[in-house]
Amino acid sequence: MTEPVITARTTASEASLPSPAPGLVPSEAVIRIEGLCKSFDGRRVLDQVNLEVDRGRIVSVIGQSGGGKSTLMRCVNLLERPEAGTVEVAGEVVHSGGRTVCRDLPGLRRTVGMVFQRFHLFPHLTAVENVVLAQRRAGVPEQQALERAVALLRRVKVAHRGLARPEQLSGGEQQRVAIARALALQPEVLLFDEPTSSLDPEATREVLSVMRELAADGMTMLLVTHELPFAREVSDHVVFVDGGQIVEEGAPQDVLDNPAQARTQEFLASYGTTS
Amino acid sequence: MSALFQVPWTDYRSDLLDALGRTLSYTVVSFVGAVALGLAVALLRLSRAWPARAVAAVYTEVFKNVPLLAIIFLTYFGLASAGIKLDVFTAGCLSLIVFYAAYLSEIFRSAISGVHAEQTEAGEALGLGRASIFAHVVLPQAVRLALPGTNTMLVDLLKSTSLLVTVSAAELMSEGRLITSATFRALEVYLVISAVYFALCYPLSQLLLLLERKVRAGIPLSPLRRRRVRAAHELLAADLARPTVRKESAV
């Protein structure tokens, strides 16, 4: 695994993401998963799952709780180790045939940023320190790490709370700091694991607004969500997972508005979203 | 009152100051040693390897269930009879270290376990290595949890140095015994010695309480963190001073 090059950005405007030129969106897969299997205590939670996320694309994974969505996402950065199948990130096979072949696991995880459902901010650090920590450990000089942290906090509209500790922040603010933290190492892809599930409607709106801006900037994203209208709005591809398998996938309007599979129709009916 | 206080204390002033210095030396050296050993034992108890866990558990249970006085006698007299002759300072510190490390290891173990596993996971997701996660994520949070118990142990250790009177360690209590032998004024001498212990322990416990409050409030204590927070404050203040329109367009 090639060590990601971390070039410190020093100005606010530079905190924005490099967006692909219009009409020149590269199509190589940042994430490629083939034949992925994972069990917990003998119970199969992922069964022969195949998935690709191309650069600059947004893929939403939907499905009922316990269906394997989060496990699928956690297999990408190897927070969970699959028993079978292949995981490829940024062109590098990182896990294959039940063995981790990635020699630089920290490097892989800096390539793949992750935002958790319950934020998982470090409570002993201020918001800005939360964004600085991983940068410093990755070798970014102190001043540059701080400047980038402030720029990112501004980008997610929480710079005014930069010196607050997580317990002093609202849920929406905490999640936005978590997004800034995940962006700090300039990952090639962001994983969002139900980022609004722990939030009230107002905070959900704030977080979705930030994610919408990331999407507009061309950030590659793999998103586990229950926010179906949001998935319809921002996704290029929607995947419905149930019982550890991909039941149906395709363009948002196909999967969410005209699902072909009975199981998908049933799931969407429970959300009252099918036409 | 004048009948109660008849010991010529000014004659013993320099001896008492020496004894006070030795009490503090025993306390500092033993506490530092006990914290280091206690942390090592706590990490062994949290190890994935069962032999390491077993060794640490046996150590903790043995030294938690043997009186400190017995450990002092074993270290000073027992080891000497086995050919290992330790000077009184080494023997005294060693006794206090092995005894208090057993208790501190329990405090540290529960504090480290008390840091949510999701914090480690967040560190992993950020590409931090195991050592970095421990040093920058788990340990600072564990310190916050361990501080009240550790502080209690420090004050208790200071008071327990008085048990070293049994091996004539020349600390405060030993000095009190010498003065009593010379003056036969046991009540007065031990009242004064007790007052000295109180004068040491009470401010210390209040200082430690203040430290606990500061740590709980997230006030940066290390110079590095203070510098970082100050620099962040300046950057954030400069950022907030910018006009809103410019800020939004920069995003």
Render pLDDT for B101-135 as a digit per residue (tens, 0 to 9): 999 999 999 999 999 999 999 999 999 999 999 99
Per-residue pLDDT of A73-125, as tens digits, reads: 999 999 999 999 999 999 899 999 889 998 889 999 999 999 999 999 999 99
Which residue did the predictor score with more confidence, A28 or B145?
B145
Q: Which of A220-234, B102-116, B231-245 has the lowest mean pLDDT?
A: B231-245
Q: Is residue A219 part of a domain?
A: yes
The mean pLDDT value of chain B amounts to 92
Q: Which residue of B has its CA nearest to A181?
A: B126
Chain B residues within an 8 Å CB radius of A155: 251
The reply to whether B122 and B162 lie within a common domain is yes
- Per-residue pLDDT of A19-56, as tens digits, reads 443 444 445 889 999 999 999 998 999 999 999 999 99
Pairing of strands A220-224, A189-193: parallel
- Kindly state whether residue B2 falls inside one of the protein's structural domains: no
Whether A188 is covered by a domain: the verdict is: yes
- Same domain? B185 vs B249: no
Provide the residue type at B61 as one letter.
E
Q: pLDDT for B155-185, tens place per residue? A: 999 999 999 999 999 999 999 999 999 999 9
B58 and B74 fall within a common domain: yes
Nearest to A154 among B121, B218, B251 (CB): B251
DSSP string over B130-197: HHHIIIIIIHHHHHHHHHHHHHHHHHHHHHHGGGGGGGT--SHHHHHHHHHHHH--HHHHHHHHHHHH
List A residues 119-148 in contact with B (Cβ-Cβ < 8 A). Answer: 120-126, 128-129, 132-134, 137-138, 142-143, 146-147
C-alpha span between A235 and A219 (Å, rounded) = 12
Give the rounded distance of the alpha carbon of B3 from its chain centre: 40
Number of domains in chain A: 1
Same-domain check for residues B50 and B87: yes
Please identify among residues 19-78 of chain A the ones whose CB lies closer than 8 Å to any CB of chain B: 77
**Residue bearing the bigger pLDDT, A66 or B87:** B87
Residues with Cβ within 8 Å of residue B168, at least 6 apart in sequence? B88, B174
Q: Is residue B96 part of a domain?
A: yes
- How sure is the predictor about B243, in pLDDT bands with cuts at 50, 70 and 90? low
Domain that holds residue A265: 28-271
Q: State whether B127 and A106 contact (CB < 8 Å).
A: yes
Local confidence band at A18 (pLDDT 50, 70, 90 cut-offs): very low
C-alpha distances (whole Å) from A266 to each of A3, A65, B33, B150 are 44, 14, 64, 57
In a domain? residue A5:
no
What is the residue range of B247's domain?
221-251
- The pLDDT, as a whole number, for residue B217 is 86
Say yes or no: ipTM exceeds 0.90. no
| Contacts of residue A48, Cβ cutoff 8 Å, sequence gap at least 6 | A35, A36, A37, A85, A245
Q: Name the residue among B28, B45, B44, B170 with its Cα closest to residue B97.
A: B28
Q: Are B228 and A142 inside 8 Å of each other by CB? A: yes
Residue A169's domain is classified under what CATH number? 3.40.50.300
Please, what sign has the CA dihedral across residues A217, A222, A224, A230?
A: positive
B41 and B117 co-located in one domain: yes
Do residues A59 and A51 touch, judged by C-beta distance below 8 A? Answer: yes
pLDDT of residue B118: 94
Number of C-beta neighbours around residue A86 at 10 A: 17
B57 in a domain, yes or no? yes
- Taken in order B60, B61, B64, B69, the sign of the CA dihedral is negative
The closest CB to that of A137, out of B128, B231, B235, belongs to: B128
Residue B246 structure tokens? 């410019």
Q: In B, which residues are within 8 Å of A15 by CB distance?
A: 250-251
Look at residue B132 and tell me if it is in a domain.
yes
Per the domain annotation, does B155 fall within a domain? yes
How many independent structural domains does chain B possess? Answer: 2
In a domain, B3, yes or no: no
B4, part of any domain? no
User: Does residue B231 sit within a domain?
Assistant: yes
Co-location of B32 and B126 in the same domain? yes
Phi and psi dihedrals of A67, rounded to 5? Answer: -85, -5
Are residue B187 and residue B115 in the same domain, yes or no?
yes
Q: What is the pLDDT of residue B241?
A: 76
Determine the pLDDT at residue A20.
42
CB proximity list for A223: less than 8 A, separation 6 or greater: A58, A59, A60, A61, A191, A192, A195, A211, A231, A235
pLDDT score of A272: 67
Report the distance separating Cα A61 and Cα A262, nearest Å: 17
Q: Greatest CA separation found in chain B? A: 85
- Tens of pLDDT, residue by residue over A117-151, are 999 999 999 999 999 999 999 999 999 999 999 99
Q: Which of A254, A224, A250, A225 is nearest to A237 (CA)?
A: A250
- The residue type found at B208 is L
* Residue B145 in this model has a pLDDT that exceeds 90: yes
